[in-house]
Amino acid sequence: MYCDGLKLQNVSSWYFVVFNRCFAGEKLSIFTVYGNAKAKYPLCFEVLDDSNVNNDDVYVYWFIGSTGAGHATVVRSCKKPHMFRSIKSGYGIDDDYVYYEAVKIPKANPKTWAMINNNYSKDDKNIFYFRKVVVGADLESFEIIPDSCFPDIEDSCCGKDKNRTYETGTSVTTGDRCIVYQ
pLDDT in tens, 46-103: 777 656 667 777 888 887 665 556 667 888 888 888 888 888 888 999 999 999 988 9
Helix and strand tally (H, E) in the chain? 0, 22
Q: What is the mean pLDDT of the chain?
A: 83
User: Cα–Cα distance between 122 and 150 in angstroms, integer?
Assistant: 21
User: Whole-structure pTM over 0.85, yes or no?
Assistant: no
DSSP tag of 141: T
